[in-house]
A and B are shown apart, each in its own frame.
Chain A
């Protein structure tokens, strides 16, 4: 059973994204489509640099070719890293060997929600609230671009020490905390996440919708 709305992993199924979330999803999709093109462009650019180096190297008293090979590797690495960053935007990587189930995804502030975590190692379950906000970011001296940043506005972590066979924990939403909101330049989203203590990478989050 799907735990998130398709294309909008921060929303439970059935919840409509706001215009900010739709813009962000479109940007991610375009970035993912452009990633293979950037890899191809990197290969072509590196080949041009190598070809230029070989051509100059073949001339009488021409420079050595090896600096051009290094330059080609740098060009290839630059394009590959750029493509990888765009690809990761579409397909984030999650921790393997962890499983998280949440009993319900539609809640109100002050509600409690049960979650069952399973996996090897020392685990912790987090209840996280993230705010997305639009700002203008300078991309050149006379040009600025609208981007969406995120910031954690509330979080609570509960240790799950013996989860090899699955352990249930209960999480409490703060009665006077933030609530879910989908807007044009500000959105607020809730999720339950599972991770190994000390590791940044978590299992795929389970989004919640928290009504005021």
Chain B
């Protein structure tokens, strides 16, 4: 089973609705499909949900190939934008998760907010 998450209208403002769709690229048997919006710390080896802004069940039952399911969640009014580097990122993410027998397939999609920051490669800095 394979999923993809699309998000509309980025970059978003704090408090804005996060709307988009989950595309089921490869379907299969499932109990449900849910999406979660959360502020996540992520490195190559670790991830931690620092703040959960809500989870929504958007489909129940088996998922067909090519199915497209829309969702809408809301960012908190004080949502901070992302800060990223080639090594780590903090920021909001949508996670789609299929609940089924065995390991649950997931798909993560970072959400871009206004005034986020992504550090360029370190080589840019002439000193320090």
Residue in A135, A174, A179 whose beta carbon sits within 8 Å of that of B80 in the complex: A179
A185-B41, A186-B41 are contacts. A152–B81 as well, Cβ < 8 Å?
Answer: no
Q: Number of A interface residues, CB 8 Å?
A: 29
Q: Is the CB of A151 within 8 A of B87?
A: yes
Choose the segment among A38-46, A112-120, A153-161 that binds chain B (4+ C-beta atoms closer than 8 Å).
Answer: A153-161
Q: Is B55 an interface residue (CB 8 A)?
A: no
Q: Does B85 contact A (CB under 8 A)?
A: yes
Q: In the complex, what residues of A have CB within 8 A of residue B86's CB? A: 151
Which residues of B are found within 8 Å of A155, using beta-carbon distances? 125, 127-128
In the assembled complex, the Cα of A188 lies from the Cα of B80 at a distance in Å of 13
B interface residues, how many (CB within 8 angstroms): 26
Mark each residue of chain A from 131 to 142: 1 if its CB lies under 8 Å from any CB of chain B, else 0: 101111000000
Q: Which residue of B lies closest to A157 (CB)?
A: B127
Q: How far is the CB of B86 from chain A (nearest CB, A)?
A: 8
Interface status of A72 (Cβ within 8 A of chain B):
no
Residues from chain B with Cβ under 8 Å of A109 in the complex: 115
Within 8 A of B (CB), among A94-118: 109
Stretch at the interface among B66-74, B97-105, B116-124: B116-124
Known A133-B88, A134-B45; contact A178-B50, beta-carbon cutoff 8 A? no
Interface string of B30-55 (1 = CB under 8 A from A): 00000000000111111110100000
Q: Is A61 an interface residue (CB 8 A)?
A: no
- Check B42 against A131 for contact (C-beta < 8 Å): no
Number of A-B residue pairs having CB atoms within 8 Å of each other in the complex? 83
Contact between A134 and B46, CB atoms less than 8 A apart: yes
A-side contacts of B128, CB under 8 Å: 126, 128, 152, 155, 157
Decide yes or no whether A170 CB sits under 8 A from chain B: no
> Shortest distance in angstroms between A198's beta carbon and chain B's nearest beta carbon?
9
Choice from A178, A179, A181 contacting B119 with Cβ under 8 Å: A178
Contacts of A176 in B (CB 8 A): 115-117
State whether the Cβ of B83 lies closer than 8 Å to any Cβ in chain A.
yes
Expressed in whole angstroms, the minimum distance between the Cβ of B108 and any Cβ of chain A is 15
| Contact between A135 and B90, CB atoms less than 8 A apart | no
In the complex, which residues of chain B have a beta carbon less than 8 angstroms from the beta carbon of A175? 115
Residue among A128, A135, A186, A212 facing the most chain B CB atoms (10 A cut-off): A186
15 A-B residue contacts at CB 8 Å?
A: A126-B128, A134-B43, A134-B45, A135-B44, A136-B45, A153-B117, A153-B119, A176-B115, A178-B83, A181-B83, A183-B90, A185-B43, A185-B46, A186-B43, A186-B48
Instruction: Give A residues with C-beta under 8 Å from B.
Output: 109, 126, 128, 131, 133-136, 146, 149, 151-155, 157, 174-179, 181, 183-186, 188, 212
- Apart from A149-B87, A186-B89, what are 10 other A-B pairs with CB-CB below 8 Å? A133-B85, A134-B46, A135-B44, A135-B46, A153-B83, A153-B85, A176-B116, A178-B117, A184-B50, A188-B90
Residues of B within 8 A of A (CB): 41-48, 50, 80-81, 83, 85-90, 115-117, 119, 122, 125, 127-128
